[in-house]
A and B are shown apart, each in its own frame.
Chain A
Amino acid sequence: MLKTTLAGLRAHKLRLLLTSLAITLGVGFIAGTFVLTDTIEAGFRQKFAAAADKIDVVVLPAEDGGRERQAVGADLLEKVRGVEGVADAQGVVRGTAALIGKDGKAAGDYPTSAISIPEGRLNRTEITGGAAPRSAAEAVLDENTAKTRGFAVGDRITVLDSKNVKHEFTLVGLFDVGVDQALAYSGAVGFTTGTAMKMSGEKDFRKIDVAAAEGVTAETLRASVATALGTGAQVETGAKHAEELAAANGADTKILTLGLLLFGLVAMFVAALVIYNTFNILVAQRTREMALLRCIGATRRQVFGSIVLESAVVGLISSVLGLLTGLGLGAGALAVIGRTGLDVPTGAVALAPRTVAVGMVLGIVVTVAAALLPARAATRVAPIAALRSQVEEQTFRTGVVRVAFAGLFLLAGVGATVLGVTQDPGEAALFTVMGGGALTFLAVLILGPVLVKPLSALVGWLPGRLFGVPGRLAVDNSQRNPKRSATTTVALTIGVTLMTLISVLTATLRVTYNAKLDEQFPVDYLVASQGDQGTLPRALAEDLRARPELASVVALRAASAKIGKHGEFEVGTFTAAADFTPKAATGSFGDLKPGTAALADYVVKDLKVEVGDTIAVKTTEDGTVQLKVVATFLGENALLPEVTVPEQDFDGYFGRLGDGQIIADVKDGVAEENARRAVEAAAQPYPTAKVSSSTEIRGEFDEALDMMLMIITGLLGLAILISLLGIANTLSLSVHERTRESALLRALGLTRPQLRRMLSVEALVLGVIGALVGVALGAVFGWAATTTMTTGVVFQLPVPQVLAFVALSGLAGVVAAVLPARRAARASIVGSLASG
C-alpha cells in the first residue's frame, strides 16, 4: 500500500506541487513571522547585554511605593559612592528639554529628551562623533536629531529648560541612542549630569549606575550596596537588569508576533480549505482506482491509510518548503525594515527550533486534518464502482440536516450581532459582534453548496448572454458540483470578507471622524504647546485676538484636580468668544455662572451625578469648592476640558495658569495662506507653540488610516493568493476530469479560444460569487463593528473599492484559469477521446 501511494505521488508531481503551495505559503508566513521577531528580539538582547557590560550594579526606585516614587533620590548617590568596593557611581537623569530648531521653533512634535551623559566607564551611550560634554556650556545630540535638524559638531544649539527659558550650548559631540526606542522617537540632548538636572527640572535620578572596583564581583557589590541603602531602593546586578529590560522589550515584539500570526492563521485556514477541496476532488477522480484496489483485496482501512499517508507526505514537503520560504520572508522583511531607516537592531537570521517545530506540526496537522474527511469518503467507495463505465456525476441535494445546522448558526450569528450592535459601544460589544460574524460565516460555509446555484445563475446571466454557448456551458459547469464550487469560493470569500470589512471600517471611521471634527471642532487652527506639555503664555491668545485675519479665538486652560473620592480629573475653562458656543447634551452652557460646572458625558457616568447635582472639587488656591452641575456635553470629541468651569472661577481656583490650547477661526473672505501667516507670526515668539490646522489634522488621520489599510490589505493578500491557488487547483483538476467532454465539444466544433473562454468564464463566475458573498458579509459586519466602536457613526460603504474587490476577484479567477484552460485547449481531440 505504501508503495502504491508513493508511486501515485511521484506520478503526479505537478499536482502535488500546486497542492503543497497553499500550505507552503501559510507555513512560510508563520515561520517568517517567527524569524522576523526572533531576529529583532535577539538583536535587542545583544544590545542590552552589551550596554550592561559596562555597569556592574544598578540602583533602582524601590518597588511598590505607589506611583509617586518612580525615582531614586539624589541623596542616595553619595551613600552609594561611599560604599566599599565602588569604583564609580553616576545618577541617570532623564527628562525633557526642548531643542530649538533652526527656524526658532521647538523641534519636532514632542520636546526632545534631556539625559545625563557621565564621563568615563559608566557612560551608557555611545559617543559616535566628537566628545562627551564636560562642562555646563557643552551638550551632545543624538545622531538622528542632529541630521534631521541640520546641526553639526561645533555649532551652537539652543535648548529650553523646564520653565521655557532659552539656554545656549556648544554642540561638542553626537551619540547613538542604541536600543532606547523612547529616545529614538523623541530625539535627545545630552548634558553633564548637573546640567541635565537643571535643564529638565528633574530633582531625582531614574537610577544610579555603579561600577565595581578591581577585584570586586558584581554580586558582592550588589549585596554591599543593598545593605547600605536598606529598603530605600532596589539594587540589582547590571546583567540581571539588562535581562529584565530585554524581556520588557520582548513583550513589545510579542504583540507584533501575535498580530502577524493572526494573519498567518487566516492564511492557514484558507489553505486547509484548499487542501480539503483538492483531496476531495482527487478521491472523486480516483473512485475507479480505489474500487479496483478494493476489488483486489485492499481493506477500507488500507484505502483510508493511503489517502492519509498521501496528505502527510504533502504536508511534510510543504512544511519544509514553508520553513525555507519563511526564512526568506523574514530576511526580506528585515531588509525592507532596514531600508525604511528604522533603527531596529537585528541578530543573525535563523530558524529557531521552536519555529521549525511549530511550522512542521502546523503544516502536517492542517494538511492531514483537511484530508481526513475526503479519506473517509474514499473508504465508502464500493468495489463494484470499478466496473461502472460512466463516472457518475456527483449529485447534490439540499439536506435537512444541512439547512437545520445552517439555520441554527445563522440564528445565533444574527442574534449575537444584533445584541452587539444594540449594546453601548465598547470592547464587549465589539467582541459580541465578532462572535456573531464568526457564527454567521459558519452558517454561510455550511450553506455554501445551496447558495452556489442561484448565485452562479445570477452572476452567470451576463456572461451566458455575452459569450454564447461557451458562456452557458461555463455557468452550467460552475453549478454541476456545488460542494466543490462552494469550498473553492469560500476560500476566496474569507479574504474578500476581511478586506471589505477593513475598507468599510476605515471609510466609516474617516467620515465619522471628519464629521465629528466638523461638528465638535469647527475651528481652522489649533495652537498648542509642543507635545501638549506645559502651557502657552496668555499673551499669545491676546495677540491672536488682535489679528484681523482671525475670528473667534478661544483659549482653553486646564489643571488636574481631585473630585470627591473619585480621583483626578481635568478641570478647566475656555475663554469666551463671539461665535463660540459649545453644544450641551443636557442642561445649557448659558447657565455656566460662577459656582457651576459643565461635565463631559463620561465624567457624569463616573461620578454618578446629573444636572442639578453638586460636585466637590479640590482646588489649589481655593480649597475644596462645591460646584453645581448645569450642563453635560459629549466629551469624546469636544475640545473642552472634561470638567469645565467659568473663566473667572478657574483663575480663582488654580491661579493664573497659561493656556493649554488656543483655537482660532479664519475670518470669512480671508485667504488661507494669509490666515496661516498671521497665526504663525503670532506664535513665532513662543518656541514651544505649535500650529496645526484642521486640514492638517485630517490629513494626518487620513494618512494613518491609509497606512493601516495598506498594511492590512497586504497581509490579507496572502490569504487571497492562497484561495486563488485553490481556484487554479480546482479548475485544473476539473479540466482533467472533463478531458473527454472537452474533446467532444472540440469535435462538435468548439474552437480552441472558445474552449479557453469557457473555462475562463467558469473561473470568473466562481471568483465573482466568492467576492459577492465576501463583500456582503464584510459590509454588514463592517457596519456592525463600527457601531460598536464609537457613537454617531456615519456608515460609509466605499462603493468603488468594493466594486474593485468584486472585479479583481473575477479577474484573478480568470488569471488562475489561464494555465488549466491552455492545457485543455491544447489537448489533442483524438487522444482525449480515447482516454478513460
Chain B
Amino acid sequence: MTITGEVGAWNARGNAASAVVARGLTKVYGQGDAAVHALRGVDVSFETSAFTAIMGPSGSGKSTLMHCLAGLDAVSGGKVHIGDVELTGLNDKQLTLLRRERIGFIFQAFNLLPTLTAEQNIRLPLEISGRKADQDLFDRVVETVGLRDRLGHKPTELSGGQQQRVAVARALISKPQVIFADEPTGNLDSRSGAEVLSFLRTSVRELGQTIVMVTHDPVAASYADRVIFLRDGLLVSELMRPSPQSVLDTLMKLEA
C-alpha cells in the first residue's frame, strides 16, 4: 500500500498552512437498502496558496467531496474546516455568509447570470456581500483573463471559453480563502481549456490564491501542484508536481 502511505505522510506534515481541512468525512445519500455511500471517511487538507486537483473515476465522489468542502451540501459525518471556521454545525444563513466571504466557485457550465454583463457578473459576489471592489485588483484580474474589451457583453454574446474566464475572474475578485472549481474546463476545447487553466495557475502563483479543482482530464490536472485521487468515496492516492503522464499512470493503476 505505497499509495496510501504517501497520503498519510503528506497529511502528517501538519496543516498549519492549510486553507481547507476535512477529517473523517462521510456522506451517505438515501437510506436503508437504497443508501449510497458517496464518501466513506476522507481525511484531506488543502494548503494555502496551492493548486490542488481532485481526480478519480466517475462516481468516485469527487463532486460530492467538493460540495461538502464548500458547504453546499451537508455532511453525514466528520468535520470540515475552512480556515479557522468549522462548517459542520453551521446553519444555512451562516453557511451562506461563509461562502460569500471566503469561497469562490467555478462550475462546469451555467456560471453566469444571463441578465448581467460580464463586468456585472464579475462584481456580483462583492455586490452581494456589500463590499467595494478593489479597483486595482479588478483591473489586474480583468487584464490577466484578457476580458477588457468584453466587459459590457452579456453571457450569450461570449464564447464558452470567454464565459469560463469571466467565471474565473469572478471567483478571483473577492479574494476568497479558497476557490472550488468543478470541471471548469469540461465544456471547453483544449486551447480555451489551457487558457483558463493557466489563469488559474497564475492566480495561485501571483495572487497567492488557493484553488481546489475537480477534473477528469490528466492534462488539466497537470497544471496543479498536487493531485489527489478518489475511488469509491475514499482517498486512495496523491501526486505532487504531476505531469499528464504520471497522472494517467496513476489513474490506470486505480482503475485496474
Given the interface contacts A389-B187, A477-B115, does A751 sit within 8 Å of B107 by beta carbon? no
If A390-B156, A740-B110, A830-B73 touch, whether A748 touches B115 (CB-CB below 8 Å) is: no
| B147 contact set on A, CB distance < 8 A | none
- Tell me the bound Cα distance from A747 to B102 in angstroms: 12
Q: Which residues of A contact B32 (CB under 8 A)?
A: none
* Pairwise interchain contact A469-B99, C-beta atoms closer than 8 A: no
Q: How far, in angstroms, from A833 to B72 measured CA to CA in the complex?
A: 10
Question: In the complex, what residues of B have CB within 8 A of residue A754's CB?
Answer: 128
Q: Is B92 within 8 A of A747, CB to CB?
A: no
**Across the interface, do A744 and B110 meet the contact criterion of CB distance under 8 Å?**
yes
A748 near B128 with CB under 8 A, answer yes
Q: For the complex, what is the distance from the CA of A477 to the CA of B113, rounded to whole Å?
A: 10
A392/B156 in contact, CB under 8 A? yes
CB distance from B76 to the nearest CB of A (A): 14
Contact A469-B124, Cβ < 8 Å, known A744-B113, A749-B97, A749-B100: yes
- On whether the beta carbons of B127 and A468 are closer than 8 Å, the reply is yes
> Would you give the 0/1 interface string for B79-116, flagging 1 where the beta carbon is closer than 8 Å to chain A?
00000000000001100110111000101011101111
Can you pick out 25 interface pairs between chain A and chain B where the beta carbons lie within 8 Å of each other? A392-B156, A393-B154, A393-B156, A468-B130, A469-B127, A469-B128, A473-B113, A476-B115, A476-B116, A480-B115, A744-B110, A744-B111, A744-B113, A748-B99, A748-B124, A749-B96, A749-B99, A749-B125, A749-B129, A751-B92, A751-B93, A751-B97, A752-B92, A754-B128, A829-B73
B92 nearest in chain A by CB position: A752
Q: Among the interface residues A468, A479, A480, A751, which one has the most CB atoms of the partner chain B within 10 A?
A: A751
Whole-angstrom CA separation of A748 from B101 in the bound complex: 9
| Given contact pairs A469-B124, A749-B128, A752-B92, a sample of 20 additional A-B residue pairs in the complex whose CB atoms are under 8 Å apart | A393-B156, A468-B130, A473-B116, A476-B115, A480-B114, A741-B110, A741-B114, A744-B107, A744-B113, A745-B113, A745-B128, A746-B96, A747-B99, A748-B100, A748-B128, A749-B101, A751-B97, A752-B93, A829-B72, A833-B107
In the bound complex, CA of A744 to CA of B106 (Å):
10
Q: Does A828 sit within 8 A of B, measured CB to CB?
A: yes
Bound together, the chains give a CA A390 to CA B156 distance in angstroms of 9
Chain A residue at minimum C-beta to C-beta distance from B129: A749
Measured between beta carbons, the chain B residues less than 8 angstroms from A833 are: 72, 107, 110
B110 surroundings in chain A (CB, below 8 A): 390, 740-741, 744, 833
Tell me the bound Cα distance from A830 to B66 in angstroms.
11
Which A residues are CB-close (under 8 A) to B109?
Answer: 389-390
B150 contacts the other chain (CB 8 A)? no
Contacts of A76 in B (CB 8 A): none
A372 proximal to B (CB < 8 A): no
Q: Which residues of B contact A830 (CB under 8 A)?
A: 67, 72-73
> Within residues 471 to 492 of chain A, which ones have a CB less than 8 A from any CB in chain B?
473, 476-477, 479-480
A153 at interface, CB cutoff 8 A? no
Q: Closest residue of chain B to A741, judged by CB?
A: B113
Interface positions of B (Cβ within 8 A of A): 67, 70, 72-73, 92-93, 96-97, 99-101, 105, 107, 109-111, 113-116, 124-125, 127-130, 154, 156, 187
Q: Is A750 an interface residue (CB 8 A)?
A: yes
Most B CB contacts (10 A, CB to CB) among A477, A748, A752, A829 go to A748
Asked if A748 and B105 make an inter-chain contact with CB atoms under 8 angstroms apart, the answer reads yes
In the complex, what's the smallest C-beta–C-beta distance from A408 to chain B, in angstroms?
33
Select the residue from A390, A745, A749, A830 with max chain B CB neighbours within 10 A: A749
Contacts of B101 in A (CB 8 A): 749
Contact for B96 among A392, A469, A476, A752, CB less than 8 A: A752
Q: B220 CB to closest chain A CB, in angstroms?
A: 19
CB-CB contacts of A353-395 with B at 8 A, as 1s and 0s? Answer: 0000000000000000000000000000000000001101100
Report the bound CA distance from A741 to B93 in whole Å: 19
Residues of A within 8 A of B111 (CB): 744
Inter-subunit contact A828/B113 (CB<8 Å)? no
In the bound complex, residues from chain B placing their C-beta under 8 Å from that of A469 are 124, 127-128
Known contacts A751-B96, A830-B73; decide if A393 and B114 are in contact (CB<8 Å). Answer: yes
Once bound together, how far apart are the Cα atoms of A751 and B100, in whole Å?
9
> Bound complex: CA of A744 vs CA of B109, how far in Å?
11
Q: Which residue of B lies closest to A751 (CB)?
A: B96
A interface, how many residues as a size bin? 20 to 34
Q: How far is the CA of A468 from the CA of B130 in the complex (A)?
A: 8
User: Secondary structure of the A side of the interface?
Assistant: helix
Which residue on B lies nearest to A753, using beta carbons? B93
Instruction: Give the residues in chain A near B129, CB-CB below 8 Å.
Output: 749
A14 to B108 CA separation, bound complex (whole angstroms): 32
- Complex interface: chain A residues within 8 A of B154 (CB): 393
What is the bound-complex CA distance between A741 and B113, given in angstroms?
Answer: 6
Q: Pick the most buried of B127, B128, B130: most chain A CB atoms within 10 A of its CB.
A: B128
In the complex, what distance in Å separates the CA atom of A754 from the CA atom of B115? 18
A658 to chain B, nearest CB (A): 80
Give Cα distance in the complex from A389 to B187, angstroms.
10
**Chain A contacts of B130 at CB under 8 A?**
468
Bound-complex Cα distance A749 to B93 (A): 9
By beta carbon, the residue of chain A nearest B105 is A747
Contacts of A479 in B (CB 8 A): 115
Cβ contacts under 8 Å, B114 to chain A: 393, 480, 741
CB distance from B152 to the nearest CB of A (A): 15
Task: Please give the distance in Å from A648's CB to the nearest CB on chain B.
Answer: 85
Q: How far is the CA of A828 from the CA of B70 in the complex (A)?
A: 14
Residue of A nearest to B108 (CB): A833
Instruction: For the complex formed, measure the closest distance between the CB of A495 and the CB atoms of chain B, giving whole angstroms.
Output: 29
Residues in A with CB closer than 8 Å to B187 are 389
B80 CB → nearest A CB, Å: 15
**Bound complex: CA A480 to CA B105 (Å):** 25
From B66, which residue of chain A is reached at the shortest CB distance?
A830
- Chain A nearest CB: distance from B48 CB in Å? 21
**Assembly CA distance A473 to B128 (angstroms):** 11
Residues in chain A near residue B105, CB distance under 8 A: 747-748
Closest A-B pairs by Cβ, 5 of them: A749-B100, A476-B115, A751-B96, A830-B73, A469-B127
Shortest CB-to-CB span from B148 to chain A, Å, is 23
Q: How far is the CA of A468 from the CA of B126 in the complex (A)?
A: 12
Assembly CA distance A745 to B154 (angstroms): 17
CA–CA, A76 to B114, complex, Å? Answer: 91
Q: A393: which B residues are within 8 A, CB to CB?
A: 114, 154, 156
Residues of B within 8 A of A480 (CB): 114-115
Complex Cα–Cα for A469 and B156 (A): 21
The A812-834 residues at the B interface (CB cut-off 8 A) are 828-830, 833
Q: Which residues of A contact B72 (CB under 8 A)?
A: 747, 829-830, 833
Residues of A within 8 A of B97 (CB): 749, 751
Given A393-B156, A744-B111, A750:B73 Cβ within 8 A = no
Name B180's closest neighbour in chain A (CB-CB).
A747
Residue numbers in A under 8 Å from B99 (CB-CB): 747-749
Question: Bound complex: CA of A833 vs CA of B128, how far in Å?
Answer: 19
What residues on A are CB-neighbors of B100 within 8 Å?
748-749
- Whole-angstrom CA separation of A745 from B112 in the bound complex: 9
Complex-state Cα separation, A10 to B198, whole angstroms: 49
For A740, list chain B residues within 8 Å (CB).
110
How many angstroms between the C-alpha atoms of A687 and B184 in the bound complex? 97
Of A389, A393, A740, A747, chain B has the most CB atoms within 10 Å of the CB of A747
Q: In the complex, what residue of chain B is closest to A750 when comparing beta carbons?
A: B128
Whether the Cβ atoms of A473 and B115 lie closer than 8 Å is yes
Inter-chain contacts of A744 with B (CB < 8 A): 107, 110-111, 113
- Give bound CA distance, A740 to B109, whole Å: 10
Nearest chain-A residue to B170 (Cβ)?
A: A748
Instruction: Tell me the complex Cα distance, A501–B176, Å.
Output: 56
- Residues in chain A near residue B127, CB distance under 8 A: 468-469
Tell me the bound Cα distance from A477 to B114 in angstroms.
Answer: 10
Q: How far is the CA of A351 from the CA of B213 in the complex (A)?
A: 67
Once the chains are docked, how many angstroms separate the CA of A393 from the CA of B116? Answer: 12
CA distance A479 to B107 in the complex (A): 26
Complex Cα spacing A746 to B127, Å: 13
* Interchain CA distance A369-B125 in the complex, whole Å: 45
